[in-house]
Structure 1
């Protein structure tokens, strides 16, 4: 299968690599051309100079960008994906977007794609950089049911779990649920560690015991030690988490839902950005507590 992969960032770089290693014919595009050259030094494939050129000969086009505006530009801008599909003269292309965006954008891009005779699938991922490197991502899919088998087949090289949650936009809404959970869990973990530190507890022993019970979580198992080590140079940066939480809060307003904890944690992340921690991992919430008087 000929595949285009557009966006070779922290997540996209290894994801595209898994597709190449699985035997797909992969053409990559990245806004910074040197990143595509770096990818080609490690994997087999080709590079394109525009999204249109990448999409033109591809049966499936995958996206892993940053924000709503990035996706819209890559899709509908000059020399964008839809230009490439138009130039190919073929119909039936599938565009799989792994970017975390608003559900409103996913719904709009789905309509636009249908008007072109192709299909847009919102398929945000969870698992972070390490999940992308290890090929162990969870994918939340919004698409018509008949497209799911093709999505599963294409993304299998980097997928641990995948599920269709509904039509266009439902994948993004599910990713919002994911980010709401993570925000609350990390703040709870940060407060728990901070409390333990101020009560003369052996934190390693505490975690060893409570992680086996109802308090246990992925965040506890994978982040408590790095938090204790003041190591926040990994994982998912709070600059991106704030973008995601903004999407969650906007959708909550549209649906008339209150998210008081999410709003509070978003404020804490804003404080950390002002402290110069914008590129730090989301677990840096502990540092904010430690630096309070």
Structure 2
């Protein structure tokens, strides 16, 4: 069992840190709003800290799951940042979906300070975090990853090192590119079926068993047909992620025409008031 700090207790981080405590790790948490950290301690035990530096003091592993590049820099760097509190040889594991650029920047700084750094974005959503069955895509040095993997496994269904620093973030971009196209295709199919007078649930019962089947179809078709979107991965978050994908594509000379189109469709959903709706709300722009 390890001494672990967890920074960021949102819809993903809160249950992820809980799984670490349930596995017997000694967990100290930090959250920008102290009330959420206090609620976590009340539910799971452990301790909370007032700053990332205090949370990281004495920890063998520091895990983070925050919002974006700037949030990650804020919890890592500066006098109150986690890097300032970590001892040489400790490992920082970042579960945030951020740019590969900031990952490589922070990995280099960690290396300069004698710290390990693994980028480890996750897929599986809030339900995956709550059930401890996330897919974790990792980048970094093999020896550092080997140390961190047994800790990450507290909330992972699968965890794999995919290359050097930034590789986890590139893999997460690929994940989001796939999801964007899948959700748009599902939205179009269900909206098409509605206009044609078909029973969408009955159709999905059949086609989900064939080549069209996907996680999105299995887990989102019913709520899409019920016009329910007050749960899951928010449109705002997806647009943040797709923005990272599109920026990176420009940098490396890749073409993402479908991703760029779906990103604009999500912009329409935001303009409809759906910024915090689940990403399956793409169907709303087709059925209004």
User: What TM-score do you get using the length of structure 2 for normalisation?
Assistant: 0.99
Hey, what does 1:54 align to over in structure 2? 55
Question: Structure 1 residue 158 and structure 2 residue 155: aligned?
Answer: yes
Hey, what does 1:266 align to over in structure 2? 263
For residues 118-139 of structure 1, give each alpha carbon's deviation from its aligned partner in whole angstroms, at most 9, with x where no partner exists.
0111000000000000000000
Hey, what does 1:76 align to over in structure 2? 77
Give the whole-Å Cα distance in 2 for the aligned partners of 1:151 and 1:274. 41
Maintained 8 Å contact 2:233/2:278: yes
Give the whole-Å Cα distance in 2 for the aligned partners of 1:124 and 1:206. 34
Question: Structure 1 residue 254 and structure 2 residue 251: aligned?
Answer: yes
Question: Structure 1 residue 146 and structure 2 residue 147: aligned?
Answer: no
Give the whole-Å Cα distance in 1 for the aligned partners of 2:97 and 2:91. 18
How far does residue 224 in structure 1 lie from its aligned partner after superposition? 0.1
Give the whole-Å Cα distance in 2 for the aligned partners of 1:289 and 1:2. 50
Match runs of 1:82-231 below 5 Å: 82-85=83-86, 90-231=87-228
Maintained 8 Å contact 2:117/2:144: no
For residues 74-107 of structure 1, give each alpha carbon's deviation from its aligned partner in whole angstroms, at most 9, with x where no partner exists.
111331011112xxxx311100000000001111
SS at match of 1:139: strand
How far does residue 203 in structure 1 lie from its aligned partner after superposition? 1.2
Give the whole-Å Cα distance in 1 for the aligned partners of 2:61 and 2:146. 13
What RMSD, in angstroms, separates the aligned Cα atoms of the two structures?
A: 0.7
Hey, what does 1:8 align to over in structure 2? 9
Between stretches 186-195 and 141-150, larger displacement belongs to 141-150
Give the whole-Å Cα distance in 2 for the aligned partners of 1:144 and 1:187. 36
For residues 135-184 of structure 1, give each alpha carbon's deviation from its aligned partner in whole angstroms, at most 9, with x where no partner exists.
00000000101122222101111110011110100000000000000000
Give the whole-Å Cα distance in 2 for the aligned partners of 1:63 and 1:230. 34
Give the whole-Å Cα distance in 2 for the aligned partners of 1:152 and 1:128. 20
Q: Which aligned runs of 4 or more in structure 1 are off by greater than 6 angstroms? A: none
Q: Which runs of 5+ in 2 are unaligned?
A: none
Match of 1:282 among 276, 279, 287: 279
Hey, what does 1:22 align to over in structure 2? 23
